[in-house]
Amino acid sequence: MMKPLGSNFYPYPVIPEIRIDLPSYNTDLKYCHHASDEFNARMDSALQRLSEDAREAMADNLVALILGGGYGHGEGGVIRLDGYEQPCDDLDLTLIVEDKSAVQYDQLAAISKKYESELKIRVDFSRPLTIEDIRNWPRSLMWQDLLNGHIVLYGQDDALIANAPPSLRDALPLIEATRLLLNRGAALLRAMRIARGVESAPNADFVRRNYFQCGLALGDAALIAHRRYATPYRGRDERLAALASESDEVAALNIQLLYEISLLFKFAPDQSPDVPLTQQSLQILARLWGATFLHIESKRAGRGFRSLEEYSRWFGLREPQQHTIDTLARNVIRNIQIGTLSWLYPREWLYRRLPVLLGLTHKDVGDWAAESERFLVVWERFN
């Protein structure tokens, strides 16, 4: 069971009274409102060339190429190396095509590799979508953020706006807050495995980056659950502060300072506190994750769970839409594929098991390394 956190007990070793000054902001700049004109011009040049390469590779099959993520709504991360501004977030590119079966993935991979070498960041093309796919988008955080923050690199400027369902303008369902915390909690679990020496980090910054992404998710999930979420990062800290001033339950989560530091990391990682993250730091963050998760799930399910141990024993359905007569056979098959017998969609097990593996209940875990590895294998397939 989680112990209550004191008002001055933070997972990151900073003075509680620290003032977080976010970088200056200029909305006239296209890809990064807090970088220079020169940085934005370099990004524009690279993205225009990337777009030309994609058009040449895909010819008439390419309907539109959309830039999403941080750079798509002008808030991508920037680091300064010897005074030179360098992008540090992934490029998230959404493909809209006429025929998904005609996409040449080897050509896209070559384009990704070319611009990863130039920009020193990851370049990700989405699974191809058609206009009909866009018209059937579900109400999800991913699609709402893309709709509300994107740049069309090629194609009609209103390719998304003219075709996305009107429901994506509405407040997100609370399960989106739960799923956001599930995904960031899984990344926190992997960071714990790295800190314990169970597996190697894929890169030197993996633990630190996922630490702050988890910190950001705590505040974002609270904003989603209380209908205060908006796509732009700028201003989310103010909305969270306002929410905490109105809700004693949110204030008691004690996540505001961490959220502000995480926002700073999002905008400018090189300006955030550079202190090694220990197993203890990650465990304290897990407790903040657990408190936030329990608050949101109690609100969403209307059950007032007293502890994460009680929550992990609850067999109610988190995602009823995945448990219809039409999905029953699919669920059974999916479970057989991962070595279990159940009619429940596998994410139901993930929701119940993650608090246990993060050490937030009294339940014993026999072989934590093996069980956490199995959890991550299932999560990677069903997240």
Question: What CA–CA distance (Å, rounded) separates 136 from 138?
Answer: 6
Question: What CA–CA distance (Å, rounded) separates 136 from 236?
Answer: 28
* Per-residue pLDDT, 18: 56
Residue 23 in domain: no
Residue 96 in domain: yes
Residue 371 in domain: yes
Name 321's bridge partners: none
Say if residue 279 is in the same domain as residue 370.
yes
Asked if 375 contacts 353 with a C-beta cutoff of 8 angstroms, the reply is yes
Say if residue 143 is in the same domain as residue 270.
no
Q: What is the mean pLDDT of the chain?
A: 92
Say if residue 128 is in the same domain as residue 191.
no
β-bridge pairing 62-67 and 151-154: antiparallel
C-alpha count within 13 angstroms, C-beta hemisphere, residue 335: 17
Best CA proximity match to 241, nearest among 185, 231, 232, 226: 226
Q: Which of 122, 143, 167 is the last residue of a domain?
A: 167
Say if residue 263 is in the same domain as residue 122.
no
Residue 333 in domain: yes
Q: Which of 135, 167, 199 is the last residue of a domain?
A: 167
* Per-residue pLDDT, 133: 97
Contacts of 302 (CB under 8 A, 6+ apart): none
Give yes or no for residue 12 having a pLDDT over 80. Answer: no
Quick one: average pLDDT of 324-342? 91
User: H helices of the chain, where?
Assistant: 37-58, 69-72, 105-119, 131-135, 141-148, 175-195, 206-225, 236-246, 248-253, 256-267, 279-301, 308-313, 328-337, 347-357, 368-382
Say if residue 118 is in the same domain as residue 191.
no
Say if residue 272 is in the same domain as residue 351.
yes
Best CA proximity match to 199, nearest among 377, 350, 65: 377
DSSP state at residue 100: G
- Which residue do the tokens 């314990």 mark? 196
Question: What CA–CA distance (Å, rounded) separates 80 from 266?
Answer: 14
* Per-residue pLDDT, 3: 40
* Per-residue pLDDT, 6: 39
First to last CA, the chain: 26
| 63 φ, ψ (degrees, to nearest 5) | -90, -45
Q: What is the pLDDT of residues 88-114, one digit of tens each?
A: 999 999 999 999 999 999 999 999 999
Number of domains comprising the chain? 2
Say if residue 120 is in the same domain as residue 206.
no
* Per-residue pLDDT, 250: 97
Say if residue 283 is in the same domain as residue 342.
yes
Residue 72 in domain: yes
Cα dihedral 368, 382, 266, 2, rounded to 10, equals -40
* Per-residue pLDDT, 1: 35
Say if residue 135 is in the same domain as residue 179.
no
Question: Which pLDDT band, with edges at 50, 70 and 90, does 311 fall under?
Answer: very high
CATH for 68: 3.30.460.10
Range of the domain at 62: 37-167
* Per-residue pLDDT, 19: 61
Question: What CA–CA distance (Å, rounded) separates 57 from 31?
Answer: 25
Say if residue 209 is in the same domain as residue 341.
yes
Q: Which of 167, 199, 224 is the last residue of a domain?
A: 167
Residue 12 in domain: no
Say if residue 271 is in the same domain as residue 322.
yes
Q: What is the pLDDT of residues 205-247, one digit of tens each?
A: 899 999 999 999 999 999 999 999 999 999 999 999 999 999 9
Residue 18 in domain: no
* Per-residue pLDDT, 274: 72
Amino acid type, 39: F
Amino acid type, 272: S
Residue 282 in domain: yes
Question: What CA–CA distance (Å, rounded) separates 207 from 195?
Answer: 8
Q: What is the pLDDT of residues 360-381, one digit of tens each?
A: 999 989 999 999 999 999 999 9
Say if residue 200 is in the same domain as residue 304.
yes
